[in-house]
Structure 1
Amino acid sequence: MTMEKNNRIDLHTHSNASDGVLSAKELLERAVNNNIDLLAITDHDTVSGYRSVQARAGQLGINLITGVELSTVWSGLGVHIVGLNFDPNHQAITTLLDNQRTARKKRCEQILQRLTNLGLPLTLEELQANVGSATIGRPHIAQLMVDKGYAGNTRQAFKKYLGTGKIGDVKNTWVSLSAGVAAIRAGGGVAAVAHPNHYQLTRSKLLRLLDDFIAAGGQGIEVIAGKQQRDITEKMANIANDKGLYASTGSDFHRPLAYTADVGELPPLPDSVKPIWHLFD
């Protein structure tokens, strides 16, 4: 795909098909209004948002590619992998997403049971009534906790109950990193490690993660992930080059907030890196 680094590109966004606030249609229109040239809607473990606006994107003249953000496990750590430009109807993809949907429900039930045992009763029926057809995630549980008065806001819910290392941090239902990457590649897509600085890994552990990711067939890393300091971008660009990885860029947009990146509100990739869209047909 012919794109330049100064084109407006966003390869990591979310609609209300998972844990975003805007519908896929509203997200697409926001991207058009922001003059985005290339967009991926990367909802958690689902492509339903993409499917709902695929035809509309062509009418609006925006390049929309398939995308998904997979929850995976590597060495006991939850790692998100962004899949891009794959065939959403390929059996490897449909099987993977069906399995992830089942895993999400199982994980949700485990989290709700843990919270109930803690004296904070929550039911799957209550949660599904709030979420509707969207892919259920911890942000939805956090909002239900706020609605029921168990937390003052969703940030507090994550800080006390749902964040990494807390009682609601359940990872053992997810697909392995290697299996997730393999499915994306089988579907003709490109896999990238999402927001690598988010995991707060030592440099040596991050490099081990990337080595295993590459061995599984991974080809990319988010060099730019939302609003981040320039030194983080430079660090990730250097790692991408050292490991021979292609560079991706994404806002990780969920909702319009002053302190987070809007759709496409991203600086150009550093000149030194290979843009991931060079791998797209």
Structure 2
Amino acid sequence: MVDMHLHTTVSDGALSPTELVEKAYEKGIKVLAITDHDTVDGLEEGRKKALELGIEFINGIEISCDWLGKEVHILGYFINCEDEKFQSEIMALREIRENRNKKMLEKLEKNGIYITLEELQEEAKGDILSRSHMANIIMKKGYAYSKKEAFSRYLGQHGIAYVPKSNLSPDRAVRIIKENGGLVSLAHPKLITRDRGQILKIINGLKKVGLDALEAYHGKFQINDVKYYMDLAKETALLWTGGSDFHGNERDIIEIGDGEVPMYVYEALLIYYEGRKI
């Protein structure tokens, strides 16, 4: 089984890269990709443990973007972490995230919820500070009973403290990954919008700058969703990818391996990727 969409404590997951790979091994995963948000800092640790356990490991990343007020996430695979230009771009993404965090903390304060940057840094186990960490603090302080409530009332797209991901378009994210030599997939298209016409518009736009695939398998997708996005990938001459989108916390009840991605999905991607390098 394959899982190409996994998060660790380096971004907003609950398990360290080592713990994540160990749990994936217990679940029978043969191929995995760590795709932390806007960072590749956990890949070396994850790859080392995967090598010990005999798991095929893919360097991955998930870049968070904004498109007309909607959150769009771009997955990158087979990332070259030695690329200095890519590392510079990732540092710029971190600055964008930090500015967004400050704005959200300011909006929370205006609404009577006081969270300091120091508290947020203490809550995060890695260098990436996220809304997930804010949600944890909101719960601890009694402003919400669950992470779901924290997002719906405060941090989600319709929450009172929400701030869109500014200055980073999906097409720029695609270019960053393509210039690195990676393979690019549009993450969980169903979660962007239910408007299939808009999804097609996003796909067609991103294809012009190098989009390679759609994420057709996902921990929250039903069988009919998988079929729809596989068919859409075929219609738009794209490959497909898949993974659970596991975080390991209360926000989503998703386990490693959910989505049940078959091995041929990875094999097709690998053939395409290797062929492109020739």
User: Which of 200, 220, 227 does residue 213 from structure 2 map onto?
Assistant: 220
Contact 2:2 2:260 in 1 (8 A): no
Distance 1:148 1:268, change over 3 A: closer
The 2-side partners of 1:155 and 1:90 are apart by 37
Contact 2:217 2:241 in 1 (8 A): yes
Alignment of 1:173-212 (within 5 A): 173-212=166-205
Matching residue's letter, 2:103: Q
Distance 1:261 1:146, change over 3 A: closer
After TM superposition, give the deviation of residue 47 of structure 1 in Å: 1.0
Identity %: 32
After TM superposition, give the deviation of residue 190 of structure 1 in Å: 0.6
Structure 1 runs of 4+ aligned residues shifted over 4 Å read: 268-274
The 2-side partners of 1:25 and 1:84 are apart by 19
2:77 is equivalent to residue 78 of structure 1: no
2:98 is equivalent to residue 105 of structure 1: yes
The 2-side partners of 1:154 and 1:229 are apart by 23
Q: Give the TM-score normalised by the residue count of structure 2.
A: 0.91
After TM superposition, give the deviation of residue 173 of structure 1 in Å: 2.8
Alignment of 1:253-272 (within 5 A): 253-255=246-248, 260-268=253-261
| Map of 1:32 onto structure 2 | 25
SS in 1 for 2:42: helix
SS in 2 for 1:108: helix
SS in 2 for 1:249: strand
Matched positions, count: 273
Distance 1:93 1:74, change over 3 A: same
SS in 2 for 1:66: strand
2:160 is equivalent to residue 154 of structure 1: no
SS in 1 for 2:73: strand
Q: Give the TM-score normalised by the residue count of structure 1.
A: 0.91
Map Cα deviations across residues 227-273 of structure 1 (whole Å, 9 max, x no partner). 4211111111111000011110100011177x744222333459999
SS in 2 for 1:175: coil
Distance 1:74 1:91, change over 3 A: farther
Alignment of 1:90-129 (within 5 A): 90-129=83-122
Matching residue's letter, 1:220: A
Matching residue's letter, 1:249: G
| Map of 1:3 onto structure 2 | none
After TM superposition, give the deviation of residue 81 of structure 1 in Å: 0.5
Contact 1:221 1:240 in 2 (8 A): yes
| Map of 2:38 onto structure 1 | 45
Q: Give structure 1 stretches of 5+ with no counterpart.
A: 1-7
| Map of 2:2 onto structure 1 | 9
Deviating more after overlay: 265-274 vs 200-209: 265-274
Deviating more after overlay: 47-56 vs 231-240: 47-56
The 1-side partners of 2:167 and 2:239 are apart by 25
The 2-side partners of 1:256 and 1:112 are apart by 22
The 2-side partners of 1:172 and 1:229 are apart by 28
Distance 1:126 1:256, change over 3 A: closer
| Map of 1:140 onto structure 2 | 133
2:61 is equivalent to residue 61 of structure 1: no
Distance 1:272 1:109, change over 3 A: closer
The 1-side partners of 2:222 and 2:53 are apart by 33
The 1-side partners of 2:21 and 2:263 are apart by 26
| Map of 2:270 onto structure 1 | 277
Deviating more after overlay: 269-278 vs 191-200: 269-278
Matching residue's letter, 1:150: Y
Contact 1:44 1:71 in 2 (8 A): yes
The 2-side partners of 1:256 and 1:126 are apart by 19
Distance 1:191 1:101, change over 3 A: same
Q: Give structure 2 stretches of 5+ with no counterpart.
A: none
After TM superposition, give the deviation of residue 274 of structure 1 in Å: 9.1
Deviating more after overlay: 139-148 vs 69-78: 69-78
Contact 1:69 1:80 in 2 (8 A): yes
| Map of 1:230 onto structure 2 | 223
